[in-house]
Structure 1
Amino acid sequence: MPELRLSPDLNVDDLAEAFAVRPRLHILGILVTGDADVVASTLEAETRWKTTVAAGGDFFEMPLDGRRAADPSKQSWLDAAAVDGEKPTTQYIFDNRRLGIEHEGEKDAADDVLDLLNSDAFLAFARKVTGDDRIDLADAQASRYRPGHVLTAHNDVAAGKNRLYGYVLNFTREWRADWGGNLVFYDQDGHIEHGWTPAFNALNLFVIPTRHAVTEIASFAPRDRLSIVGWLRSREKVGPQTVQEAGSVAY
């Protein structure tokens, strides 16, 4: 397919002004609509998911066959995976596909998102919106959250990764807040300060470190929460950040 395109309707000056006031943004209509539809269809049809778990003392990543373990003898691992609510450490359960690392066969629209994020056009857009010329590259992974999937509070700081900003590109066509899967941000007292419900073809962008989480997907959610997520990074060492919870998790 042709290269993915940022929407020509984006007002970069207005976005930069808003980001300067509070360094997090919810940008609707980030891609040309037809391009976003193609990416969404690709993620909806994706079969290369793996479930990644760091919860309740379990740590593993398991290839799936549809929505179950590719190795039936290990399905019990998935069935038993659960967050320990007493533990304050970051825990998570979700499906992912790492882009640019686990490439197999011909490139698809999800791979094209990684190319877009590292294009001159997007990097210039990101530098303009954030006012930060240190942004050199982006990494990415596709994520799928199903009922019971969750990502508890963390701040995205990871030693040596030089992360500057976290981002979430949403590709779920319809979503309701009461289905869970909301990206929420916490204040210093642990209260929810702000949050966004997944919205189709929207980019969420926020500075690191920022303490945030993805709320658990409800048992009654009728569809999956689909996104492409990652970090905008520098090739140079980033200055001191408050290290709290490290690890490559996905929103």
Structure 2
Amino acid sequence: MTDTPSSPIRLNPDLDLAALAGAFARGGRLHIPNIFAAEAADAVAGVLEAETRWKTTVAAGGAFFEMPLNGRLAEDPGKQSWLDDAKVDGASPLTQYIFDTRRLDQREGHEEGHRDAADAALDFMNSEAFISFLRALTGDDRVDLVDGQASRYRPGHVLTAHNDVSAGKNRLYGYVLNMTREWRADWGGNLVFYGADGHIEHGWVPAFNALNLFVVPTRHAVTQVASFAAKDRLSIVGWVRSHQKVGPQTREEARQAY
């Protein structure tokens, strides 16, 4: 079983590229509703909703680990307490996170021949058509590739403030491709951006089949998903990158950009 869409993943043909490019140039970040054609978006969302191959990744409260899950619990029952005890240290200035992740792979034969619409989405985002779209959208000819992983934020999951600078990664833009149907703002999991004064300057609620794109570095976070959230926040996330050296690349430069 491949769970791939019956037609290839493609951009929504109704997108107004000129208008989008103008909006991105003005703000350095952009929310694009209905980024994929409807059938493709439904296929990707369906895969993530049914996914069982998640791992929880944790860098919080002094704990650092990645743990395979069986459904929503630790695959190794003896390590479930690691997940139960994982929590953010609210006094720490360091970036911290707890969320579930699934690798996306562009190689053939991924996971013993199982490739699905989520894998196909990353393939498409590295296609000539999508790279050309990104170059035209951003006005940036340095765009060469897109990396990505599937993410699932469950109640209590969070990603604290950071700016996405990572030495040697040549990150140009961060992105979140939202695949959660019918999310509510008070469930948390909102992508928020901070101004120089520390206040929230802008933010977006997860919206189905919407692409959020922003310049690196930009200080941002994913707010904690509420304990009463009725579903999981699903997305594909990553960075638009270049083969060229760009931005702060040394540890000291990264520290100063933070």
Question: TM-score, structure 1 length as denominator?
Answer: 0.95
What is the rounded CA distance, in whole Å, between the counterparts of 1:223 and 1:245 in structure 2?
38
**Amino acid aligned to 2:74:** A
- Report how many aligned residue pairs link the two structures: 246
- Contact 1:169–1:202 (8 Å) recurs in 2: yes
Corresponding position of 2:193: 185
Deviating more after overlay: 170-179 vs 92-101: 92-101
Corresponding position of 2:48: 43
Superposed CA offset, 1:160-208 (max 9, x none): 0000000000000110100000000000111000000000000000000
What is the rounded CA distance, in whole Å, between the counterparts of 1:232 and 1:101 in structure 2?
15
Corresponding position of 2:181: 173
Q: CA deviation at 1:245?
A: 9.5
Corresponding position of 2:170: 162
Corresponding position of 2:243: 235
- Contact 1:139–1:232 (8 Å) recurs in 2: yes
**What is the alpha-carbon root mean square deviation over aligned residues?**
1.5
What is the rounded CA distance, in whole Å, between the counterparts of 1:178 and 1:244 in structure 2?
33
What is the rounded CA distance, in whole Å, between the counterparts of 1:240 and 1:108 in structure 2?
36
Corresponding position of 2:37: 32
Runs of 4+ with deviation above 4 angstroms: none
Corresponding position of 1:79: 84
Distance 1:122 1:189, change over 3 A: same
What is the rounded CA distance, in whole Å, between the counterparts of 2:240 and 2:209 in structure 1?
18
Distance 1:125 1:101, change over 3 A: closer
What is the rounded CA distance, in whole Å, between the counterparts of 1:120 and 1:30 in structure 2?
16
- Contact 2:175–2:237 (8 Å) recurs in 1: yes
State the percentage of identical aligned residues: 72
What is the rounded CA distance, in whole Å, between the counterparts of 1:180 and 1:101 in structure 2?
31
Corresponding position of 1:9: 14
What is the rounded CA distance, in whole Å, between the counterparts of 1:150 and 1:101 in structure 2?
27
Corresponding position of 1:53: 58
Q: Map 1:48-127 to 2 at 5 A.
A: 48-100=53-105, 103-104=110-111, 105-127=113-135
3-state SS of 1:29 partner: coil
- Contact 2:106–2:119 (8 Å) recurs in 1: no
**Amino acid aligned to 1:153:** A
What is the rounded CA distance, in whole Å, between the counterparts of 1:203 and 1:172 in structure 2?
12
3-state SS of 1:218 partner: coil
Q: CA deviation at 1:239?
A: 3.6
